[in-house]
Amino acid sequence: MSKLGVIGGSGLYEIKGLVPKGAKKITTPFGKPSGEYLIGEMGGKEIIFLPRHGSHHNIPPHMINYRANIWGFKKLGVERILSISAVGGIEKGLEPGDIVILDQVIDMTRNRKSTFYDGKDGVVHIDFTEPYCRELRQTLLKAGKRVKVTVKDGGVYAAVEGPRLESAAEIKSFAVLGANVVGMTGMPEASLAREAEICYAGISVVANYAAGISKRKLTVAEVMKAMKDASGKIKLLLKETFALIPGQRKCVCREALKEAKI
Ligand code: HPA
């Protein structure tokens, strides 16, 4: 049975309803992951959960060891990751509490270790035309329909370095580029998962209107409140998704390294 990974973002440090079975501390050639991987069961599947900011939210987005986190999942035999993140809503009509199943990304991060392949194990260029696993996205959309949790099918995620929030002009420019939401953790998580041949889907919860869209000052409290309020919907969506995920992968993610090495 294939194992499923879940990465929790701001405000999501546990999955309600997950029956705990234990925890694993993992060491990796890239250093320490964000914390212990919690192992549990839900929807009849083995679930491995990691809060990316640490269980007490002490790791800021630009200090997360993305490589260690993804490597750890690989080491534990995880084939698919559902990644949950808080985002600012850029697109008109997106409201705090809305859930977006991402389909594209624009990477604007600058200072992150973004590959497992620094040359020692060859030069690798993975295909990233579709950053998110098609099969996993379809399963999430189907699950949303079945449990009547409204999700938006598709959204372009602008990944920024942080930890500061954006200026109003930055958000305006991201909108011109085609971004629908903005967040600080979506990259290089997605591309590292692809390098590790792990399927990866991005579930973004709109926590606030992005800078300049609402005239109010952005606060961390509103982000945390929106995430807490959305946790019931996220739980329903995850549980149904776990139950619906097919046993065998048929997507291209599982052979991402094929024809990608020089
Ligand atoms: N910008 C960047 N990251 C975020 C935001 C935002 O407005 N909200 C939650 N994460």
DSSP string, the chain: --EEEEEE-TT-SS-TT-EEEEEE---BTTB--SSPEEEEEETTEEEEEEETTTTTT-S-GGG--HHHHHHHHHHTTEEEEEEEEEEEE-STT--TT-EEE--EEEE---SS---S-SBTTB-B----SS-S-HHHHHHHHHHHHHHT---EE--EEEE---SS---HHHHHHHHHHT-SEEESSSTTHHHHHHHTT-EEEEEEEEEEEPBTTBSSPP-HHHHHHHHHHHHHHHHHHHHHHHHHS-SS--SGGGGTTTTTB-
- CA of 218 relative to ligand 1 center, distance in Å: 9
Confidence (pLDDT) at 1: 64
Handedness of CA 134, 140, 78, 62 (dihedral sign): positive
Whole-model pTM? 0.96
- Please name the residue whose Cα sits nearest to atom 7 of ligand 1: 88
> Closest ligand 1 atom, CA of 183?
3
5: left (phi over 0), alpha (psi -120 to 50) or beta: beta
Q: Set out the domains of the chain in order of their start, with CATH numbers.
A: 3-255 (3.40.50.1580)
- CA of 87 relative to ligand 1 center, distance in Å: 4
Q: What is the pLDDT along the chain (262 residues), one digit of tens a residue?
A: 679 999 998 777 778 888 889 999 999 999 999 999 999 998 788 999 999 999 888 999 999 999 999 999 999 999 999 999 999 999 999 999 999 999 999 999 999 999 999 988 889 999 999 999 999 999 999 999 999 999 999 999 999 999 999 999 999 999 999 999 999 999 999 999 999 999 999 999 999 999 999 878 888 888 889 988 999 999 999 999 999 999 889 899 999 999 888 8
Tokens of 222: 């509103």
Best probe residue, ligand 1, of 91, 160, 181, 184 (max atoms within 8 Å of C-beta): 184
Confidence (pLDDT) at 43: 78
Within 6 A (CB) of ligand 1 lie 86-88, 160, 165-166, 182-184, 207-208, 210, 223
- CA of 247 relative to ligand 1 center, distance in Å: 34
- CA of 30 relative to ligand 1 center, distance in Å: 27
- Please name the residue whose Cα sits nearest to atom 2 of ligand 1: 183
- Please name the residue whose Cα sits nearest to atom 9 of ligand 1: 87
Confidence (pLDDT) at 122: 85
DSSP code, position 168: H
- CA of 93 relative to ligand 1 center, distance in Å: 17
- CA of 220 relative to ligand 1 center, distance in Å: 9
- Please name the residue whose Cα sits nearest to atom 10 of ligand 1: 87
- Please name the residue whose Cα sits nearest to atom 6 of ligand 1: 88
- CA of 43 relative to ligand 1 center, distance in Å: 31
